Amino acid sequence: MTTHFVPENLPTHIQHFINGKFVDSASGATFDVLDPVTNKTYATAAAGQKEDIDAAVAAAREAFVNGPWPKMKPRERARILNRIADAVEAQEERLAEMETFDTGLPITQAKGQALRAAENFRFFADLIVAQFDDAMKVPGSQINYVNRKPIGVAGLITPWNTPFMLESWKLAPALATGNTVVLKPAEFTPLSASLWADIFTDAGVPAGVFNLVNGLGEEAGDALVKHPQVPLISFTGETTTGKTIFRNAAENLKGMSMELGGKSPCVIFADADLNAAIDSALFGVFSLNGERCTAGSRILVERPVYDEFCERFAARAKTIVVGDPHDPKTQVGALVHPEHFDKVASYVELGKTEGRLLAGGGRPEGLEEGNYIAPTVFADVAPDARIFQEEIFGPVVAITPFDTEAEALELANNTKYGLAAYIWTSDLTRAHNFAQSTEAGMVWLNSHNVRDLRTPFGGVKASGLGHEGGYRSIDFYTDQQAVHISLGKVHTPKFGTDDAAKVDG
């Protein structure tokens, strides 16, 4: 095995960023950050507690109430957002190296994340400049217009899979619309989040507008969700955590946007382009180490092509290159953390009792240390099997046959989740009707997960609450205040006078 790559100038200690300054926790508490290839501690990170969240929210609130950011013209904020995008693109190589080192994501897949993050900032820079609001007129009587304004301090809680890019999904629209933010990144992967502080400062973001508090979900995350001066929470993560956040946010009636777990179906009909479907299904479940919420982790195949699909899919899965995330040949790297590795490995063992193992099934040969699991394929999986119903979030897939379109739809909708779905057929009428009957927030027809930033992103059922993306993000991060102006004499009932009964309401 080759020597494990370590990026240059790697920090040994990661701090919070509050009111324009890097600081440790008030208590001095820290937690260890592991490299997923060796599972050795490479850094400590400040572990945020309630008092650190309080300090960050106070800074963000002060910047919102008395600072220049919310009052800037859209073009001024857009210029700063574009400078942020320029800075992200300029350090794409370093960012990719750090992301790969911190998450175990293959380097070739990490390299696209910086460009996508930059594009998020450019997109919302354009959107706020082009933004216009509604006006409604009643000639000679009234004009009504919408005054769209930022809400306040946005609490952003982000996951450990592709962390930098997913942070940009929330940071860009929250800042573009004039809010200030407190970001709580996932504790498994705090490394790349620490880059935002200098990027924002150098781009001209005023102190207090962006604040970062590292820490555990049940400590820092919990304090952020419960803070009475944080009116918005945007969370991406696992469904059970989402339910806890929803309960805790209810006390202060916070605005909520939650993109949660998934167990997305990939439905392949006999008339599909089988070569393209196999390529897409493999990429959809094994890219990003299978650690993706939109993974097509349940493959439903029509009976006439089921055996051929299983044989070809498994053969390809066996040839996927698993190894050091920094090797450009690697297609599946190390899972993010030993805790997560244990969870995925337990599902692999469970799957051996619930399906027919066609590929993988455990740790790859020659990779005795690190969080490596070979791409694992189970066939003939029953719809009530746990590996069919539960989110595994790793390189593990369940394949199930179907005989009729009605059965395929029943199977596709037969989980508590409803994030994404992938449908493969050459029948255009069936494609549209099936897509519209599928319980999923997003559906791809004859394609893998390729997303236009203008479209809504979100799920139904246990996969989420609300949508972000495009104008939906603008809607979430702003209040729409209706302002009414009378253009003529206002006829008001004269309460307390003899004329009151004569006047129409």
Q: What does each C-alpha distance from 495 to 174, 486, 488, 490, 491 come to in angstroms?
A: 46, 20, 21, 15, 12
Separation between Cα atoms, residue 342 and residue 357, nearest integer Å: 19
How far, in Å, CA of 421 to CA of 280, rounded? 12
> In this structure, what token pair is assigned to residue 482?
């209706």
Helix runs in 92-184, H state only: 92-103, 107-130, 163-176
Which residue, among 16, 364, 353, 326, has the nearest Cα to 196 in the 3D structure? 16
> Does the annotation mark 259 as catalytic?
yes
Q: What are the backbone dihedrals phi and psi of residue 434, each rounded to the nearest 5 degrees, phi first?
A: -65, -45
**Cβ-proximal residues to 257 (8 Å cutoff; 6+ apart), any chain:** 232, 233, 234, 235, 458, 465, 466, 467, 468, 476
Q: What is the DSSP string of 237-276?
A: S-HHHHHHHHHHHHTTT-EEEEE-----EEEE-TTS-HHH
Rounded CA-CA distance 466/257 in Å is: 5
Q: For residue 252, how many other CB atoms are within 10 A of its CB?
A: 14
Among positive and negative, which fits the CA dihedral 432, 434, 439, 441? negative
Say which of 97, 259, 291, 391 is annotated catalytic.
259
Q: What are the φ/ψ torsions at residue 494 (nearest 5 degrees)?
A: -90, 75
504 by Cβ neighbours in 10 Å (0-12 / 13-18 / 19+) ranks as exposed
- What b-and-e string marks burial along 334-360, b requiring 16 or more CB atoms within 10 Å of the CB? bbbbeebbeebbebbebbeebbeebbb
Amino acid found at 115: L
For residue 433 the two structure tokens come to 């009707």
**For residue 262, with 0-12 CB atoms within 10 Å meaning exposed, 13-18 middle and 19 or more buried, which class applies?**
buried
Please give the Cα distance from 253 to 140 (Å, whole number).
39
As to burial, measured by CB atoms within 10 angstroms (0-12 exposed, 13-18 middle, 19+ buried), residue 188 is buried
Residue at token pair 């207090």: 208
Give catalytic residues, as residue numbers: 259
